Amino acid sequence: MVREKISKKISNMSSVQQNGLCSSVLPVLGLLVLVSACAEITLPTNELNGIHVSGSSTVKAPPDIATMQVGVQTFAEKAEDAVAKNNGKVEAMIVALLEKGIAEADIQTTSFNISPQREYKANHPPVVIGFNVSNMLSVTIRNLDRVGQILQATIDAGANNVHGLTFSIEDPTPLKQQARKLAMEDALARAEVMAETAGVKVGKPIQIQETSWGGPVARSDSLEKMGVAADVPIQPPSEVDLVINLQVVFEIR
């Protein structure tokens, strides 16, 4: 806009007025240069000032629950037959779990799928030859001494799909709170070392971000090897780790 006004002003001048061009235009050009210079200035922000550090802590505790994913996969030419066969095995598996002392509330269906199985031949369209039915259960085990027996009971009842076994802490909240305090102390200690070296002092924290996720979980080895016989017990880990990571920015004083 400023340049357009200057050009218009110059084009409208008479030959006599052009003799005084420098005295009338230079102040405007000076203003233009000032505006352009100001537009390139980057003002400092709080995010650019301070001591940026990370803090972390690990708290250990014995697990109190185990969770396993077990289920049944069946096949039949007709979908209703595959479902009926699957339901029978799942019911038998649930009965076996209840007999082992698992509460009904600790047995939850996590997935149920029906999918056609197709046969492919050269120069022919695919043909449906039957249906696969899969039903997966999540089972919470509170008596960790009986994990192997309970897993074996589900296999004996017809379970043929085992995805995994994890050991964890049912309520990790108190441990997380403890770990957060320790992680903050760790961040402050790091900041104080850096500040002392730089000849400054640490102020209050102006930004705190937790980058941790999940809870304390330990995963077992292959269940196919450990859970196929009741006389081969699954040994739970003595401890699981809960890790908290923080990103903290402290003021500089």
Tens of pLDDT, residue by residue over 201-251, are: 999 999 999 987 766 666 655 454 444 444 456 888 999 999 999 999 999
Q: Which residues of 33-48 are buried (b: 16+ CB within 10 A; e: fewer)?
A: eeeeeeeeeeeeeeee
Residue partners of 246: CB distance under 8 A and separation at least 6: 54, 55, 56, 180, 183, 184, 187, 208, 209, 210, 211
- Higher-confidence residue of 178 and 20: namely 178
pLDDT tens digit string along 107-121?
999 999 999 999 998
